[in-house]
């Protein structure tokens, strides 16, 4: 494209966190983590690592590593680290988290990314992901896991409106998820779930810049493709998982000796 062409569709610029997480909830989660004084932090599927960077800012002696396979998000994370004077204490690494040897550490963040710890050729297995998280954290260390769960059993019509191939066994109930964490060698120190307002902020923020771009660039060569993708995403939320799919934020403490 030439410099006179319209700009490309923006991506995720309207988001601070890549998930339904408010500033207030993030501050509370970080406060509990910082109080434990971690020396090293690992962020699985970090994206641009906003929570990781805030934790390092709160614990000046800590160092961190974020791993992800999205080069664009990692570039954004490095730029944010540079802006905040944290570049010397954090590494953003483009690699798979499957079987990673970057642990054990004092604290692990895994928000909406537990699939990165599972065999991609098999159905997502939260029990396997939790076992991996336990392997990656020292006894007494903390894990913050952001994981989907069913607020209630979805109907057939709701499943049909979600993502392609959505199934009732794609997620567990909150109670079953917490039981798996205990079975993997954790104690659930804090259990909280995203609110309806957090979901709306995330879902609208996810598409906001792109919707504004589509309104201003209806004739752009990429407009039809972008419009179809955005409309499909919005429909999946409004006609499928809205009020059905929840996100749990579990602050887990690794049991000594496990």
- What pTM was computed for the model? 0.94
Q: How far is CA 157 from the centre of its chain?
A: 27
Q: What is the pLDDT of residue 188?
A: 98
**Sole residue written with tokens 């509990």:** 32
Regions in the chain scoring below 50 on pLDDT: 1-5
CATH number of 23-197+238-254, picked from 3.40.50.150, 3.90.1150.140, 3.40.50.620, 3.30.540.10: 3.40.50.150
Q: How far is CA 224 from the centre of its chain?
A: 28
Q: What is the pLDDT of residue 39?
A: 98
- Pull the structure tokens for residue 3: 């410099």
Compute the distance between CA of residue 155 and CA of residue 122 in angstroms, rounded to an integer: 24
For residue range 65-115, list pLDDT tens digits in order. Answer: 999 999 999 999 999 999 999 999 999 999 999 999 999 999 999 999 999
Q: Say if residues 125 and 206 touch (Cβ distance below 8 Å).
A: no
Compute the distance between CA of residue 29 and CA of residue 125 in angstroms, rounded to an integer: 25
- The helix (H) or strand (E) run that includes residue 23 is helix 23-35
Domain boundaries, the chain: 23-197+238-254
Q: What is the pLDDT of residue 2?
A: 42
Q: What is the pLDDT of residue 4?
A: 44
The b/e string for 85-102 (b: 16+ C-beta within 10 A; e otherwise) is ebeebbbbeeeebeebeb
């Amino acid at each position: 494209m030439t410099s006179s062409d319209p700009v490309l569709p923006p991506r995720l610029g309207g988001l601070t966190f890549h998930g339904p997480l408010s500033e207030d909830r993030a501050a509370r989660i970080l406060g509990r983590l910082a109080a434990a004084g971690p020396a090293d932090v690992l962020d699985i599927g970090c994206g641009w690592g906003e929570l990781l960077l805030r934790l390092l800012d709160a614990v000046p002696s800590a160092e961190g590593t974020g791993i992800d396979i999205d080069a664009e998000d990692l570039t954004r994370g490095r730029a944010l680290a540079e802006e905040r004077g944290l570049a010397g204490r954090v590494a953003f690494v483009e690699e798979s988290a499957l079987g990673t040897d970057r642990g054990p550490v004092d604290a692990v963040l895994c928000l909406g990314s537990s699939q990165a710890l599972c065999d991609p050729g098999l159905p997502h297995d939260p029990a396997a992901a939790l076992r991996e998280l336990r392997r990656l954290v020292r006894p007494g260390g903390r894990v913050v896991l952001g994981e989907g769960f069913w607020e209630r059993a979805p109907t057939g019509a709701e499943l049909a409106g979600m993502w392609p191939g959505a199934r009732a066994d794609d997620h567990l109930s909150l109670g079953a998820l917490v039981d798996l964490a205990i079975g993997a060698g954790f104690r659930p120190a804090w259990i909280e779930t995203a609110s309806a307002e957090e979901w709306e902020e995330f879902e609208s923020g996810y598409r906001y810049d792109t919707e504004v771009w589509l309104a201003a660039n209806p004739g752009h060569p990429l407009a039809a493709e972008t419009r179809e993708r955005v409309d499909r995403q919005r429909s999946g939320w409004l006609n499928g998982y809205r009020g059905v799919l929840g996100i749990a934020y579990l602050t887990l403490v690794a049991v000594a000796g496990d």
